[in-house]
Copies of this chain bind each other. A is one copy, B any other.
Amino acid sequence: MIEFETPSRRALLTAIGKAGGTLALYQAMTALGHAAPTQFSGPPKLAGAKPGASVIILGSGLAGMAAAYEMSKAGYKVTILEYQDRPGGRNYSVRGGDVIKETSGTVQHVRFAPGNYLNPGPWRIPYHHQALLHYCQEFGVALEPFVQINHAGYIHSADAYGGKPQRFAEVSTDFKGHVAELLAKAVNKNALDDTITKEDKDKLLEAMRGWGVLDKNMAYTSNLRTSAQRGFDRPPGGGVNGAPTPSEVAGLTDVLDPRVWQTLGLYLNTTMQTTMFQPVGGIDMIGKAFAKKLAGKIRLNSKVTKIAQDDASVTVDYEDVVTGKKAQAKADFCVCTIPLPILSQIEVQVSNAKQAAINSLPYQSSCKIGLEMKRRFWEQDEQIYGGHSFTTQSISQLSYPSTGFFKPGPAVVLGAYAGGAAAYQFAGMTPEERIETALNQGSVFHKQYREEFSNGVAVAWSRLPWITACASSWTDDLRKTHYQDLVSVDGRVVLAGEHCSYIGAWMEAALLSSIDAISRLHQRAVAA
C-alpha cells in the first residue's frame, strides 16, 4: 500500500519549476484543478535528432525497449544490452518447458499444460495506465478484461467468523449494514447535532436506511432484503418451490476484523479500480511486441560491468555470459534501466549525488506461486469466475484466472502473492516447500485443493539473479533526499525505470519514466 505525505501545491509547483523549466511548470499548472486520470499525453515528440547520433540502452524491460523504440523512430542509432537470454525484464510469463534459476542454484522446471501460464511480475493493467494501453494498441497486443472485483470471492481471517471464509458479498453487505445502523443510532441520539445541519441529518438517516438496507426500526437484521445483497440461504427460483429464504447476518465484531475492511477499501485504490485489462495469452505479449519492433537491436546475454562517460561519449564494458567474452560498446548517450540492486554493484561514472541515490533506494520483494489444477473447480463447484480471495495467512491472496472461463481441463491459479516479510519467508524455502505451504494455506478456501492439484511453480523475486528483488520501495524521506538526483540527466547518462517514478511497481511507471527520461536526454542531445 503506497502512503503519501501531502506537499502543498505551491511547494510542488516550485519544485516542478526548478526541475523542469517553464514549460513543465505551465503544463503542471493547467493540469491542476482537473482530475486527470493520467500524466500520459501521447508518445514523446523527439524532433530534430542529429544525424548519426547514437544511444546505448542498458536493459530490455519496458523502460529500455520504449526508449529504444521512440529514440529509434526519432532517428537515433540504438543498441540495447540485455543480461538475460530474453528481452522483457520483469514483463514475462512462464509456461510449460521454461526453466527458472535462482541465485542459490535452485532450478525449477515449469510443467504447465500448453496454453497455461503464470505472470510472475506484472499481470494487470488499470484503465488509467494510458501509456501502456497506447503501446498495446500501437503494437496490436490483444487485451481482455481482468476480473478484479468478484463478489463471490472469499475473505478469510484467522480472527473472525471462527476462521471460516466468507463470500465478499456477505462481508461487504454486513460491514455497511452495521456501520449504517450504528451511525443512524448516534444520529438519532442527537450525538452529531453540533456537526451536521438538520437537513443533512434527515438526508443522512435516509442514506443509512437505504445504503445499509436497514429495517423499519433502523436495524441491520436477517431478512430477504439484506439477503438480496449478502446472498440467500435458498435463493429465489422458479415454479412451485421458488420462494427464497433469508440468510443470517453476521454480528458486529466479525465485520470489524481488519482483513474485512482492508479488502473493501482495497478496490478503491486507483491502481486497483476497474476496468482492468490483461493481454490475451500472458503479460509477456507486451514485451514481445516491443521486442519485435526492435529486431536486431537487442544484444542478449550481455552483462554490463562498467559505465563510463566523457565529454564526447559513453563507454559500456560488458561480458557475454555464455562465451565469457568481454567487449565494449560506445555511443553518444546512454539510457540505463538496470534495476538499482544490480546497478549499485556496477562501476558507473556519475555524480556523487546520483551514485548516492543509486545506493540508497531499498527494494521490496514478492513471491508468486502458480498452481496448476486439473480442473476449474472454483468455477464448476463454487461459481467463482476470476477475481481474488484474501486471507490473513502468508499467501495473502488466491487469484483465479481471468481467461478461459468455463473451459474443461487444467488451469493455473495464483496460489500465493506474498509481499513484505512473507515474501522473504517463502524465498527461504525450497520451491517444493513453497508450493506445499501454498497448498496448505489455500485449502482453507477450497476443500478440493489437494485433490485437484497437478503441479506448480514458485517465483521468489529476491532469488532471481537478474534482479534479486521485485521493485523499488521509496519512502517520503528518501524521495526528498534522492529522487531528483536519481532522475536527473548526468552528462550523457540518464536513468529510467519504475524506480524513477512516483508510481512504483507498475509497467506504466517504467513507460512514463522512460518517456520523461528520453525527452530530457533528447533536449540535451539537440542542445549539445
A237-281: which residues lie under 8 A (CB-CB) from chain B? 237-247, 252-253, 256-258, 260-262, 264-265, 268-270, 273-275, 277
A3-37: which residues lie under 8 A (CB-CB) from chain B? 3-7, 9, 12, 15-16, 19-20, 24, 27-28, 31-37
Assembled-state Cα–Cα distance A227/B173 (Å):
25
- CB pair A238–B511 under 8 Å, yes or no, is yes
Assembled-state Cα–Cα distance A152/B126 (Å):
11
User: Distance in Å from the Cβ of A493 to the closest Cβ of chain B?
Assistant: 14
Query: How many residues of chain A are within 8 Å of chain B by beta carbon?
Result: 135
Each complex incorporates copies of this chain amounting to 2
A416 within 8 A of B: no
User: Distance in Å from the Cβ of A98 to the closest Cβ of chain B?
Assistant: 28
Binds B, one of A47-55, A304-312, A362-370, A500-508: A500-508
Assembled-state Cα–Cα distance A383/B35 (Å):
12
A520 within 8 A of B: yes
A102 within 8 A of B: no
A195 within 8 A of B: yes
What per-residue 1/0 map shows which CB atoms of A175-219 lie under 8 Å from chain B? 110011011011101011001110110011011001101000000
A130 within 8 A of B: yes
Binds B, one of A68-76, A228-236, A440-448: A228-236
- CB pair A242–B277 under 8 Å, yes or no, is no
Cβ contacts under 8 Å, A246 to chain B: 6
A223 within 8 A of B: yes
Cβ contacts under 8 Å, A238 to chain B: 39, 496, 500-503, 509-517
A136 to chain B: closest residue by CB: B406
Out of B239, B488, B516, name the residue touching A512 (CB < 8 Å): B239
Once A20-B240, A239-B501, A243-B502 are accepted as A-B contacts, the answer to whether A173 and B383 lie under 8 Å apart by CB is: no
A215 to chain B: closest residue by CB: B6
Out of B130, B169, B265, B387, name the residue touching A211 (CB < 8 Å): B265
A40 to chain B: closest residue by CB: B237
Assembled-state Cα–Cα distance A149/B274 (Å):
7
A313 within 8 A of B: no
Cβ contacts under 8 Å, A151 to chain B: 268, 273-274
Assembled-state Cα–Cα distance A337/B132 (Å):
50
Cβ contacts under 8 Å, A203 to chain B: 253, 256-257
Assembled-state Cα–Cα distance A430/B243 (Å):
40
Cβ contacts under 8 Å, A516 to chain B: 237-242
Assembled-state Cα–Cα distance A270/B383 (Å):
13
A265 to chain B: closest residue by CB: B211
A488 to chain B: closest residue by CB: B240
A2 within 8 A of B: yes
A4 to chain B: closest residue by CB: B224
Cβ contacts under 8 Å, A386 to chain B: 145, 275
Once A37-B152, A137-B406, A258-B210 are accepted as A-B contacts, the answer to whether A240 and B487 lie under 8 Å apart by CB is: yes
Out of B179, B387, B515, name the residue touching A183 (CB < 8 Å): B179
Once A151-B273, A228-B2 are accepted as A-B contacts, the answer to whether A502 and B242 lie under 8 Å apart by CB is: yes
User: Distance in Å from the Cβ of A491 to the closest Cβ of chain B?
Assistant: 16
Once A185-B192, A200-B252, A207-B261 are accepted as A-B contacts, the answer to whether A234 and B28 lie under 8 Å apart by CB is: yes
- CB pair B502–A36 under 8 Å, yes or no, is no
Out of B152, B265, B275, name the residue touching A229 (CB < 8 Å): B265
Give 20 CB contacts A-B under 8 Å.
A5-B224, A15-B243, A16-B243, A24-B240, A35-B167, A39-B237, A127-B383, A127-B385, A169-B270, A172-B268, A183-B186, A185-B195, A206-B256, A207-B258, A210-B265, A211-B264, A238-B513, A239-B517, A274-B387, A277-B385
Top-7 shortest CB links A-B: A239-B516, A4-B224, A238-B513, A238-B512, A191-B191, A39-B237, A186-B186
